[in-house]
Structure 1
Amino acid sequence: MPRAHKSRLLDMTHGDPFRLVLQFSLPLFCSNLLQQVYNLTDTALAGHLLGAGALAEIGATAALYGLIMNFAFGMNNGLALTISRHFGAGDEHGMRRAVGWMVTLSVAVSLVLTFASLLGRNALLTALQVPAEVWDGASAYLTLILLGIPLTMLYNMEAALLRAVGNSVTPLLFLLFSSVLNIGLDVAFMGPLGMGVRGAAAATVLAQGISAVLGIVYLVRCYPELHFSAGQLKTATPHSVGNMLWAGLSMGLMSAIYNLGSVALQSSINALGSVYITAQTAARRMAELYFIPGGALGISVATFSSQNLGAGKRSRILQSVKAAFAIYLVWWLFAVVYTVFLGRTTICAITGSADEVIVSNAMLYLKISLPFIPPMGVLVILRNMLQGIQHTVEPLLASALELIGKVIFAVWLVPVYGYRAVCFCEPTTWVICFFFILIAVWHCRADLADRTAA
């Protein structure tokens, strides 16, 4: 293949693990940071252009939208791990076959998910305890978002394909284009065109759709080794397809189970009233900026682990994990300093409001969550590492523990202790799952050593 094309690939089976993890995760970090900055901008635009009421309409379904996005992101990354293993092993035929089945499975799941969620959208809003005063706006916003699920899946599938072969830069460029386009459409749809919260949803779906189409063109023109034919699909065994589907569903469910807990928690927040919905929406948008290295480093470690597993270089995997821990620690220290000095100012900017009840509750969430980000970072990185070495059950169990913890808080503690219980919910589940995942890694430590010849 041409030299220029090779420069877009990153073989992580050779070289210094710290440098490789940093090199691969930096564009991912920038992508996630850009996504969160966009989310902040989108929220601020809604607050400034449409008022706090519209912000509550969008925020009432924010956890459900996060569930969809994270499932799409997780599932496609899980499907792509098979491609990473073939890439690490130098098996181009296996890569083409895996790409074909990744496309097939991703399309099938997206259609089922869209149909089922549209049929049940009113039940979803009821389960979320969306207040009557924001029901209509929340329903309109959610309907358009659900219609865009196939485009969301396609957009994430293309990015996952590129990351599987070590290219984390091009997905960043597509995301940059999508975010700028999205913000422009937000201003037009919510401003002069007067579409309200429908405009925010339409802008998101349209921007992702345009980026997805451009992504197809790019992959077809620049990555011939990722092209596949119908005949190559037939060479896969049912067992291999089943394993690939499970890997995708496992990572998708890992994210979805976590977000199901967030949906349950959002339901209890909605029951507290629109003031707390607004406070939580603003605080969560800001906190997600602090969480993004975990996602970037987690995917980096998963891809690193999968490539080195395919190459038979298992002993390199823990080196990548240590590198990821060190990088996240530096970011956490920055997050602490930023919150102390600029937290209140940022909350006011996001909400477009100086209401002390909103600002003080948002700051309470940040102050309680921040000290517990390090164990959360360890949890996310190790879960992804386990996925990369084909240990799919343990990460799911850790996510299930998070779900159980959030449901307990949502059903029993938040109604009694109010918003303070919301603030303590995630830190509590992070610590519990942190110890669980350490035990899981200890039990599979033999799979992190190179296999010696008999």
Structure 2
Amino acid sequence: MDMLNGSLWDKIFKFSMPVAATAILEQFFTATDVVIAGNFANSDRTAAMAAVGTDLPIIGMIIFLFLGLALGSNVVIAQSIGKRDTEGVKKAVHTAVLLSLIIGIAVAVFAQFAVVPILGLLEIPAEVLPSAVMYLRIYFLGMPIILLYNFEAAIFRSIGETQKPLMALIAASLVNIVLDLFFVCVCKLDVTGVAIATVLANAVSALILLRLLLKTDSIIKLEWSKLHLDMPTLKEIVSIGLPAGIQGAVFSLANVVIQGAINSLGTEVIAASSASLILEMVAFSIFSSFTQACTTFVGQNYGARQMARCRVILRLCLLEDVICTGFCMLIVFLFGDRLIALINDDSEVIRLGYIRASIVFCAYIFSLSYDVMSGYLRGFGISFLPSLLTILGVCGVRFLWVAFVFPVYHDFRSLMYVYPVSMGVTAVLIFAALMWCRPSKRFA
């Protein structure tokens, strides 16, 4: 995809939709493990489902942390492409691939010793703990290939190729379903089988993209003989990616704190919140794809020193994101109760779920704004500032709200107001940072 010339409107949309579809598919990829463990396990199905579900927040925090480094790779490669620095692209590609494997192996080894203490902090019931430990240990053994896929996907997206990561994930998802059923129903391995299936399925997606990188004739071609860590390139990747990764991990922690407050309100509130969360994840996947587009398009055009085009990219990403998110909001306002009923038909769950969905989807206007503006800044290599402000605005406000506001009212609606308040504060902070930095003017 030529990001440096021609119309931007259609290219941004064509870039974003496969990214959104990939993110949505990743959510269903994870959900498959929970559903199959809960419905087909041969021993205690509830305990099996709980074991897999309990591990998901921990997995999410670790993945978010290192996805930031994948984003850093994307930005460095995109900027090098814009500069027409072929050697810089090659260094970034090979550094990114090797970095993913090194980090993945380190996490896989460390996790084998850290899993039990970490799960012990979560006060998991005794009947669930052994299965949760087993699932997490096996899952983290696959971390090298899981991170490899995500870095490979970032490399492909840096040149505007977003369909190949999607196709690889579709293949992996199908393999995951088949292997889940085989290991659980035929081999009677329950949670262990689900974990093995997940690792093998992730290997499929990683190997598909690896083969494509080795066979491609494009600028991102991977050659084993050139696989090494280029230290200046590594420094760039880390300086952009690490703040974004820490932001993602802290963001996950803040949501765990909110979930704790939700849990204190009873089973119906938990079920309602979970049902609404499914709708929210789909919408979030859609609007966050425009953030990825903004970062990549700006990265290339900044490298080419096309500053006016960078400003146009920001405006178009915001506009297209508002249109898509507005459409999602309309669907939720008109049909939200019926959509929630498909997940849980209890009348009180539907009522409470609609309350959450209505509040959160309204807040997404703020969220998409600060997200796209943050992506714009990262395209210029400015990563620490938006990450810091997002941690302060989103995470800080949520921690304070749960600690001081929620205990006063202790009801579901007042807790849900934490979303528009925290997102609104963050949008103001990021907008102020954008006005202060003005990167398209400063770096012109």
Verify the 8 A CA contact 2:20 2:289 in the aligned structure 1: yes
Q: Which amino acid aligns with 1:227?
A: L
Aligned to 2:69: 75
2:240–2:384: 8 Å Cα contact kept in structure 1? no
- Stretch deviating more after TM superposition (420-429 or 303-312): 420-429
Q: Which residue of 2 aligns with 1:396?
A: 387
Q: Larger RCO: Structure 1 or Structure 2 (Cα < 8 Å, ≥ 6 residues apart)? A: 1
Native 8 Å contact 2:16 2:289 kept in 1: yes
What is the aligned counterpart of 1:89 among 79, 83, 87? 83
C-alpha separation in 2, matches of 1:448 and 1:441: 10
- How far the C-alpha of 1:97 sits from its partner, in A, is 1.2
Contact 1:97/1:228, CA 8 A, preserved across alignment: no
* Residue aligning to 2:7: 16
Q: Which whole-Å deviations, capped at 9, do the CAs of 1:114-166 have from their partners, x for residues lacking one?
A: 33344332333344444556444443433333232222101101111111122
Offset of residue 349 of structure 1: 4.2
Equivalent AA in structure 2 for residue 385 of structure 1: Y
Query: 1:140-151 alignment to 2 at 5 Å?
Result: 140-151=134-145
Q: How many residues align?
A: 438
2:365 is aligned with 1:374? yes
- Going from structure 1 to structure 2, the CA distance change for 1:45 and 1:347 (only over 3 Å counts) comes to farther
What's 1:216 paired with?
A: 210
> Structure 1 residue 424 and structure 2 residue 420: aligned?
no
Distance (Å, rounded) in 2 between the aligned partners of 1:83 and 1:16: 22
Q: How far 1:345 sits from its partner (Å)?
A: 4.5
Helix, strand or coil for the counterpart of 2:101? Answer: helix
1:364 is aligned, of 337, 340, 355, to 355
Counterpart in the other structure of 2:17: 26
Q: Please report the RMSD computed on the Cα atoms of aligned residues, expressed in angstroms.
A: 3.0
| Residue in structure 2 matched with residue 166 of structure 1 by the alignment | 160
Identity %: 25
Task: Determine the structure 2 residue equivalent to 1:119.
Answer: 113
1:111 and 1:150 in contact (8 A); partners too = yes
Q: Shift in Å at residue 103 of structure 1?
A: 2.0
1:287 matched residue in structure 2: 280
Distance 1:168-1:131 versus aligned 2 partners, 3 A rule:
same
Change (3 A) 1:368 1:272: same
8 Å CA contact retained: 1:55, 1:278:
no
Measure, in 2, the Cα distance between the counterparts of 1:364 and 1:54. 31
Counterparts of 1:381 and 1:174 in 2: how far apart (Å)?
26
On the 8 A contact 1:276/1:361 being kept in 2, the answer is yes
Q: Tell me: CA distance 1:129–1:344, structure 2 relative to 1, closer, same or farther (3 Å).
A: farther
Do the aligned residues in 1 keep the contact of 2:55 with 2:132 (CA within 8 Å)?
Answer: yes
Q: Displacement, 1:291?
A: 0.6
- With over 3 angstroms needed to count, the CA separation of the structure-2 counterparts of 1:356 and 1:187, relative to structure 1, is farther
Q: Aligned residue for 1:3?
A: none
**1:343 maps to amino acid:** G
Selected match of 1:319 from 312, 315, 321: 312
Aligned to 1:252: 245
TM-score by structure 2 length? 0.87
- The alignment status of 1:439 with 2:432, answered yes or no, reads yes
SS of 2:435's partner is helix
Moved more, 205-214 or 224-233: 224-233
Answer yes or no: is the 8 Å Cα contact 2:164–2:209 preserved in 1: no
Distance (whole Å) between structure 1 residues aligned to residue 265 and residue 208 of structure 2 = 43
Q: Which runs of 5+ in 2 are unaligned?
A: none
